[in-house]
Structure 1
Amino acid sequence: MAHYQGGSGFASRPGLSARQPLFGASNPPPNDQLAINMESGNAYDLDDDIMDLRNSVGRLKQVSSAIQEENQLTKQIMDGLESAMETARLTLKQTVKRLDRVARKTKSNHVLYVFLFGITLFFVAYFWIRVHRFLKWLF
């Protein structure tokens, strides 16, 4: 980028050459390479920046491959969980069908037996109280 140099206006960044004219001029024709002046002292060290960028790209590649591995592992776990849930759903459905069949086949009268037991217990308690009062009245 350009740097402001006091009253002389803007100048090119140190280390880079000036731009070539667009439609040719008395200057030699431009080539495709960028001319860089390496000055000692204040020189901008591109090698360190390039190495930093390479290291950053390497770290990004490692992170992206770690994310990809984690994604694959999560997908495998989710597939396994999905198949386990489907198996459990089918097993539960079959069990409900079996219980329904068993409930329809058995015609036991256990509710009737419990009801009769309750009524019998009520009458036994009623007669016990009556007999107890009668005996108390006699003696």
Structure 2
Amino acid sequence: MTLPYKHVLVAVDGSKEAEWAFKKSVGIAKRNNATLNLVNIIDTRSFAAIEAYDRSIAERAEKFADGLLGGYKKEAEAAGVTDVNILVAYGSPKTVIPREIAPKVEADLIVCGATGLNAIERFLIGSVSEQIVRASRCDVLVVRTEEHAEVNA
């Protein structure tokens, strides 16, 4: 017996892994007639020191997020997903996604790309996808890139 997903949350950041996760989430949302929630988290830690000198960093990050999510929304709607929401939030993606955004949209599935961090960064701070899996109260699908899927097929 399979349970249908009604509120799919997909985290996108412009990476290839996130694009592949988006494509998978569109198929899942379409098959389940689910709401697709597209989220981009602007990681404030990554530009906090620079922003002291250049106040436009946050504005540019928000503009990028709006453009990215808007493009994905159009693509999802063109593919047949009827209910698509976009969300932009600030903070650490590894905590904001599972603890704030997922409950807010009543997500029953979170889709995210596999990490792009190198081994040293993963050792020191852990991957975003790993933390989402650990902290989420719903199912999580971690998607590899298309290249990984072809190699492992």
Whether TM-score is above 0.5 comes out as: no
**Normalising by structure 2, what TM-score?**
0.19
Whose helix proportion is higher, 1 or 2? 1
Whose strand proportion is higher, 1 or 2? 2
Higher Cα radius of gyration: 1
